Amino acid sequence: MAPFNMAGVAGLLATCAAAAASAAYLLPLLLLLICPRGTHADPVVLLDTTQEEKLEWTKYPFGAEANTPGWVEESFTNFDKGINWRSYVVCDVAYNNVNNWLWTPFIERGPANRMYIEIKFTTRDCSLFPGNALSCKETFSLLYYEFDVATKEPPPWETDSYKLIGRIAAGEGRFNTNTEVVINTEVKSIPVTKKGVYFAFRDQGACISILAIKVYYISCPEISVNFAHFPATPTGREVALIEQTIGTCVANAVVIEQPTFLCKGDGKWYLPSGGCHCKPGYQADVEKQECTECPIGKFKHEAGSHSCEACPAHSKSSDYGFTECRCDPGYFRAEKDPKKMPCTQPPSAPQNLTVNFVDQSTVFLSWNAPHMLGGRTDTTYRVVCDACSMGVKYIPNTEVFNDTKITITGLNAVTTYRFQVFAENGVSALAGKSEYVDITVTTDASVPSLVSNVRITSVKSSELSISWDAPITEIGGDSDLVERYEVRCYPRYDDATNATVIQTSELSATFKGLKPSTDYAIQVRAKTTRGWGEYTPVVYKKTPHAMGLDYVGEDDNMQVRIIAGAIVAVVVLLVIIIIMTVLILRRASDECNKKQPSDCDTLEYRNGEVGVAAASAGGAGGGGARSYVDPHTYEDPNQAVREFAREIDAGYITIEAIIGGGEFGDVCRGKLKLPPDGRTEIDVAIKTLKPGSADKARNDFLTEASIMGQFEHPNVIFLQGVVTKSNPVMIITEFMENGSLDTFLRANDGKFQVLQLVGMLRGIASGMQYLAEMNYVHRDLAARNVLVNAALVCKIADFGLSREIESATEGAYTTRGGKIPVRWTAPEAIAFRKFTSASDVWSMGIVCWEVMSYGERPYWNWSNQDVIKSIEKGYRLPAPMDCPEAIYQLMLDCWQKERTHRPTFANLTQTLDKLIRSPDTLRKIAQNRIRERGAPPPPPPASSTSSNVHLRKRGTNPLAPDAVDLTQLTSVSEWLASIKMSRYAESFERSGVTTLEAAARVTVQELTALGVTLVGHQKKIMNSVTALRAQMSATSQGFLV
């Protein structure tokens, strides 16, 4: 169905009137729009004659020069209904050349952009004057004249000085002597720009009474939403225009995101965004949209819509509006503590401080946690030693720690030390003091003797054997007799405190269970009656590899070889399977490319006829899903309509107004009574067939209905039914209030957030995914063929097969097979007239560009030939103003020259879903745009050497003189930018590919792990990698000159 033209087409009213004759009832239009509660239209009255005691309006002719009675002021009363209105009456039907004028006073428009005038009147039937009526009419004219200053004299009344609003007729009915008075009500509206306006009523021979006049404008009412106040806002100059209003935060609230509200033409607010939050110390009253102070005993420490909270334990708020509760005496809150956390205390002193070990230079202390932790979990300890020298070391080696033990080394022998262990937490510094416990320790006497001649006697992959000589002692010195030895072994680069320790009385020891191929450190010390001596200097030894023949038994060796052989066999088998799969897929692709167009899931456009292959690209329609059936396969189009469309009785349809025109006839707005009772009505769009249309036009008209009737998806226009058993023939679809997407965007330029535009694109992609899975190729996807309803839901439309496209308006490129909209069509479809879902994806990229540029014309004023040549040379449309980089990259993916490299509609829908769920990804704006919105369009590229169109062709010799020298690039990010693959720079860096040498070693398998999943991008990067390898190799080897 052709897109709606929202402007009225007066010349086509007769056709819709004829169609209305077959309808049972005529009801006024009622648009049902979703609005927040309390946002109903607010009319502001500027003139109401029912409230006036007298009118005394200016009229013409008047006085002695008047040749007819003209307009006469009188009272209209109906005491039963409580009516007593001042009115004007005229009934000069007995005169020729009647020309009676009546003017309202000057009506200032105030802030109004569009003024409405409501007229209540009666009309007498001309049949009441059979012999005396010389110029009897049953209509009068309503005109207006805008003016910037009210004048004492009446404004000019010539026809060319006034703009005609319309001729007013009695829609409710006329009355004669046999019927009671019928009061008609007519409402008209006009856009206004000057200070005020005169309305004029012109009679040319009717017998009418103007009973009451009301002049007003519609305003969206004053309202508070999301804690932002929006003033009363007059509607726009046109009914379809949306006025954006910026709100201000209510008292004691702060802006979170600029609050905006859209005022629609019917005076209702729509689509609020942004808003405010109550500031700290104030809580939200959602019902009243107010921010009130926190009561005593409660607090709120940050801005937000949540309520005030009760003060946590050991704190209180003694007044209203507290942002933080104050701690009780003796309790504290650390700077980093959450405000809702209870106030806490420092801990008590540690308990049971004990000396676990002491020798001539080392003390090991331990203790228990304090009995009172102060309500916190961040208790730490600190050890102070007054008499310790600078050479003393602590393990753990930190000033504060949370372990309940410590080792102190480097002490002097036979020395008394006092150690203080402090317990502290996050509020100890605020309290000003810390509790502690102390202990006094005296170190042992020194042991001068050392073990000597430490040596490795045996080494295996998991075992080390060590021996040593006893220390030299004085003859007869009983205190120097060795009691036992201690040997420790630990990996070379580990801490000695984690060593494996063996105590023995022998002069040798063996460590087992060690790691193969590991350097180990060995130390030995002796203990006498005077205590432990010092450790010997470190001896290092590396264990051999585990697979050495000396340490693997024959049975184990055979088992290892069997396992290794099995692994190698499995790997080889997998490689063979992968290679065969790739070869089979390539052969299938080559065979498909060699077949006729109809054999490879393409839609061929031949002489206006369309054929669809049985299989879908990528198997979209498989798995038992319903597939599209071409209506042209039916000999009788009426049979296809009966199968796919519902026949509707014309009596259930009411046509109300013409809203546009199409190829086959008029497009009207109306009502459809839903069977079986006919009490429920819905708004519908009605497409009528021109009377006297040829059989081919009727068949094409019905074919379009047969196509639409097969689709049922939230983002595809829904067919309610058809009327084929009476004239005129009609197609009934759901009504889309905002009309075509391109017109709607141009009328509301810059009024939507990026997330809303991306939401529209997501809906379009979802609808096209559904059509692709149905095996249907649209061929003419463009913003003009997408309709928008009141909730901003976009739906695919226009399924006609023999459209008349004018080259001057929509850029159709005429070929032997029909006319093609060049600016939206993929290059292979232009060149070979072969349409697939991949060519629809190209068109989707153009639609994305149209949406992000608010309905701008693709390729501006270029000719069709310039567009075709530029695309062939590699030119692509630049990013629109303020377009996110992620969306522009999506467009470029859709515009891949190779159709197999383009994403599917399922890919597009999934990507747009991810962007909507992660709005932060839309913040980065694309930088490669060439002009601001509204600036003059650029000329078409002059040649392939232009910076915009010069793209390196696949297969170019990387060592040719004109090839790009990739070795001159300095970084991986610069290399990726040169091939327009900057989106993967972060992935390469995270994976360690940070130099050009590393990039030259990248393989196809590694690209998938790097996040490069699109086949087209993989091929592009690997082509550049191949060129980089060749140029690096040539540079390293040099050339003979």
What distance in Å separates the CA atoms of residue 700 and residue 663, rounded to the nearest whole number?
10
**Which of 366, 342, 350 shows the shortest CA–CA distance to 426?**
342
818 annotated as ligand-binding: no
CA distances from 623 to 600, 615, 626, 769, 774 (A): 19, 12, 9, 16, 12
Token couple for 738:
């905002």
Give φ, ψ of 856 to 5 degrees. Answer: -70, 150
Strand partners, 489: 500, 522
DSSP annotation of 245 reads E
* Nearest of 1035, 1028, 922 to residue 976 by alpha carbon: 1028
Q: Residue 489 has which token pair?
A: 């072994």
Asked whether residue 119 is marked as a ligand-binding residue, the answer is: no
Strand order, beta sheet including 228-230: 223-225, 228-230, 248-249
Is 125 one of the annotated binding-site residues?
Answer: no
Give dist(CA 605, CA 313) in Å, integer: 78
Look at the block and give the residue holding tokens 């086509």: 12
Give how far Cα 421 sits from Cα of 75, 297, 359, 410, 440, Å: 104, 39, 20, 19, 12
Render 381-422 in DSSP notation, one character per residue.
EEEEESS--TT-EEES-SSSB--SEEEEESPPTT-EEEEEEE
Q: State how far the Cα of 780 lies from the Cα of 799, in Å rounded to an integer.
A: 9
- Flag whether 666 is marked binding: yes
Which of 359, 700, 780, 798 is labelled catalytic?
780
661 annotated binding-site participant: yes
> DSSP letter at 877?
P
- Note if 780 is an active site residue: yes
Tell whether 800 is in a known binding site.
Answer: no
Please give the structure tokens belonging to residue 895.
Answer: 């515009």
Instruction: State which amino acid sits at residue 123.
Output: T
Please give the Cα distance from 50 to 239 (Å, whole number): 27
Question: Which residue matches tokens 């070929």?
Answer: 815
Token reading at 386: 């007054």
Residue 152: phi, psi to the nearest 5? Answer: -70, -35
Is the distance from CB of 665 to CB of 728 less than 8 angstroms? yes
For the chain, the distance separating the N- and C-terminal CA atoms, rounded to the nearest angstrom, is 70
Q: Enumerate the H helices of 415-553 as residue ranges.
A: 428-431
Dist. CA 850–CA 857, nearest whole Å: 7
User: What is the C-alpha to C-alpha distance for residues 97 and 1031, in angstroms, rounded to an integer?
Assistant: 95
Strands (E) located in 243-388: 243-246, 248-249, 253-263, 269-278, 282-285, 290-293, 298-299, 309-310, 315-316, 326-327, 351-358, 363-368, 380-385
In terms of Cβ atoms closer than 10 Å to its own Cβ (0-12, 13-18, 19+), residue 1016 is middle
Strand-pairing partners, residue 993, are none
**How many Cβ atoms from other residues are within 10 Å of residue 711's Cβ?**
21
Q: Do you find a cis peptide bond into 396, omega within 30 degrees of 0?
A: yes
Binding site annotation covers 667?
A: yes
- The answer to whether the annotation marks 663 as part of a ligand binding site is yes
Q: Is the bond leading into 61 cis (omega within 30 degrees of zero)?
A: yes
Give the Cα separation of 380 and 517 in Å (integer). Answer: 40
CB 112, CB 127: distance < 8 Å: no
Residue owning tokens 């093609």: 820
Residue type, 815: T
Spell out the residues 6+ positions from residue 168 whose beta carbon is closer than 8 angstroms to its own. Answer: 119, 121, 139, 140, 141, 142, 186
The residue with tokens 């891949």 is 896
Q: Which residues are annotated as a binding site for ATP?
A: 659-667, 687
Catalytic residues: 780
